[in-house]
Homo-oligomer: A and B are copies of this chain.
């Protein structure tokens, strides 16, 4: 039997199911694969042999179409890191047992850095033990921090959500005629790509955000207050975008630094986001109306506002992972190489997964403006193609139609 097993791992995105659908389509268009299985909750489902048969949905084009535009991981996800097989071989043996029991020859793992670590370790184990299982990775992350790929599926849709939402928030905050600061916290502990995409809210001539702080640059609270004061001289409503992971000069997260003494009635430490901490700072030091907003799970789950470019690429990378597997590639990840910005052209490639695993692609410092609170035209040129196009998402009873697999 030449069966294929697919699983999803790490934080969900709006298009990770499009990659799953791409894998399913890749299997359907090949006569080299007999059955397709999906493991529940990532590698945990492989370890526990907790799998579902995906052949039925593979034959149902309407269900596949709904799957493509259903957010989050339809097979469930996990955050499980395999230890080195030289340290603990047992999980590897269990995985191989699952593969043998189900007649799996190909395993495609859709995920981010940690998941690519799993792909790397598992393919490494197979090679070292002369096991001819094929292990392929397909990229997924809203953070856009995966190395060796121009960008990652999930990022474009999150960027489109952030750009559109910032444009809407800008309209809202601009409607009052009194000095006010609105601070929006955007996901990204170590990479500021998503925060940078807030700049796209100005792409059609919009008035904000006024200040954008990425986590790649040191964040100076005093300087931040100066920036706000300077902006307030020219307009009453200041809109700020900050990465959740902004750090001070000593490398400490701003949230930790300023909120360390905060406890609630029960003596428990308060967990405050960066924006909430900055809200407190502005209230104390400037004293104007101030509000903090976290885009929270919405930025990664809003499939209703997915980028069609992102959805299509997610789908294609799922197909690519299968075609690479069929060509015998193992320990590699399907990836995107950008050929040009305008017209936007890409090529699908595959890259060695050991060079992707556990690395983080950060924003180049020269894509941040010298004043430290905006991004350059080069960044805009990079980001702009990724949010283009709207999907034909179906609504049922007024809300987006979704599918559940497990």
Chain B proximity mask over A60-79: 1 for CB below 8 Å, otherwise 0 = 00000000001111001111
Q: How many residues of A contact B (CB 8 A)?
A: 77
1/0 per position for A92-116, CB-CB distance to B under 8 A? 0000000000000000000000000
- For residue A22, give the distance in angstroms from its CB to the closest CB of chain B: 18
- CB of A131 within 8 Å of the partner chain: no
Give residues of chain A (167-225) contacting chain B, Cβ–Cβ below 8 Å: 167-169, 171-177, 182, 200-201, 203-204, 206-207
Partner of A304, one of B164, B260, B295, B396: B164
B262 engages A175 (CB within 8 Å): no
Q: Is the CB of A77 within 8 A of B280?
A: no
Q: Which of A81-89, A143-151, A265-273, A331-339 contacts B (4 or more CB under 8 A)?
A: A265-273
Does A288 reach chain B (CB closer than 8 Å)?
A: no
Pairwise interchain contact A280-B284, C-beta atoms closer than 8 A: no
Q: Is the CB of B284 within 8 A of A268?
A: yes
Is the CB of A52 closer than 8 A to any CB of chain B? no
What's the Cα separation between A259 and B263 when bound, in Å? 9
Choose among B160, B258, B295, B398 the residue that contacts A265 (Cβ–Cβ < 8 A).
Answer: B258
B contact residues around A295 at 8 Å (CB): 298
Question: Are A76 and B168 touching (Cβ within 8 A)?
Answer: no
A206 to B173, CA, bound (A): 33
> Can you list, as one digit per residue, whether each of A336-366 has a CB less than 8 Å from chain B (1) or not (0)?
0000000000000000000000000000000
A40: shortest Cβ distance to chain B, in Å? 8
Once the chains bind, are B268 and A270 in contact (CB under 8 Å)? no
Binary flags per residue of A254-297, CB closer than 8 Å to B gives 1, else 0: 00001111111110101010000000100110000001011111
Closest 5 CB pairs of A and B: A387-B398, A72-B171, A168-B301, A172-B301, A261-B265
